[in-house]
A and B are shown apart, each in its own frame.
Chain A
Amino acid sequence: MLSSLGRYAGPATLILSSLAGGAKHGYALMQDVESFSGVALGPGTLYGALSRLEDAGLIEALAGEGRRRPYKLTPQGAEALREQLDAQRRVAEIGLTRLKAVTA
């Protein structure tokens, strides 16, 4: 499902992974993503991905705290994230297995 987002699938996976740990507003998302992945999402990239994820029904906005509006994962978002991470895990496992054969 996330692969249909094209070049936005990368930021989307990072954002959904962050939201899997609980609802967060925009700047907290940027900081969390940077802390666990080392990827510094720009505000433009972040909100581009957030608007697409919201349009796809994978996240939803909660009531705001002033100008900051937190987002949370929807059940469809959790399912899409699980599929994406499973696919990435399969690639990682194959890559690591082949790498082990090469370096052995």
Chain B
Amino acid sequence: MRTPRQYGPTWIGAELTAWIAFPIGILWFVYDRIARFTGATREQRVERMLDWYPPEWRARYGDEFAAVLHDAMAAGKDGPRLWLDVAREAASTRTPRPSRAWLAAVLWTAGIVAVLPLGIVSVFVADTDPLLGAAVATFGLVLIAASIRTFRTA
């Protein structure tokens, strides 16, 4: 396996962009979103949290859910714990239960591919760096664990 040095300065520039600028960009984006969210008024935060849910869910539960959010915030429960609770349930509402079985199948397949052909086998067959192979295989095991967890809640 060739090192970045063997690819020349252009490749090193691309590597630096990928490993430094890209994560910084993502962190900046997340920080900006959080700052905008926390800087908003209570009414605006409730509106934004409602937007996380699908339109049909909002049409049925939106008004009463907004009233409960206002009550909870007025009782001093406005904080990351509340936002995470709403975000998690909104994500769950947007994931129909039958599709969780498909998601589990996709995660399982990706996990197996990562562990075997890309991880373990490539180290022996394609002379991949063992450390890279181990990292990919570990990622594959994480995907397999996620697929089992997803399947059990499907």
Contact = CB atoms under 8 A, between A and B. Distances in A.
Contacts of B34: none
Interface of B: 57, 60-61, 63-69, 71-72, 81-82, 85-90, 92-93, 152-153
A50 B82 CA distance: 17
Given A44-B87, A47-B89, A48-B92, 17 more contacts: A7-B153, A26-B71, A30-B68, A30-B72, A42-B85, A42-B86, A44-B82, A44-B85, A44-B86, A44-B89, A46-B68, A47-B68, A48-B89, A48-B93, A66-B67, A67-B63, A67-B66
A43 B93 contact: no
Contacts of B81: 42
A76 interface: no
Interface of A: 6-7, 25-27, 30, 42-48, 50-51, 64, 66-69
State the majority secondary structure of interface residues on B.
Answer: helix
A46 B92 CA distance: 13
Contact of B72 (A27, A50, A51, A69): A27
Given A43-B72, A44-B90, A48-B89, A67 B64 contact: yes
Nearest to A25: B64
Contacts of B82: 42-44
A25 B63 CA distance: 12
B77 to A, nearest CB: 8
Contacts, number: 60
Contacts of A42: 72, 81-82, 85-86, 89
A47 B61 CA distance: 8
Contact of A64 (B64, B71, B88): B64
A54 B96 CA distance: 16
B8 to A, nearest CB: 51
A69 B72 CA distance: 16
Contact of B67 (A7, A46, A48, A67): A67
A39 B37 CA distance: 27
A1 to B, nearest CB: 16
A44 B84 CA distance: 9
**Residue in B60, B67, B90 with the greatest tally of chain A CB atoms within 10 Å:** B67
A45 B85 contact: yes
Contacts of B152: 6
A51 B86 contact: no
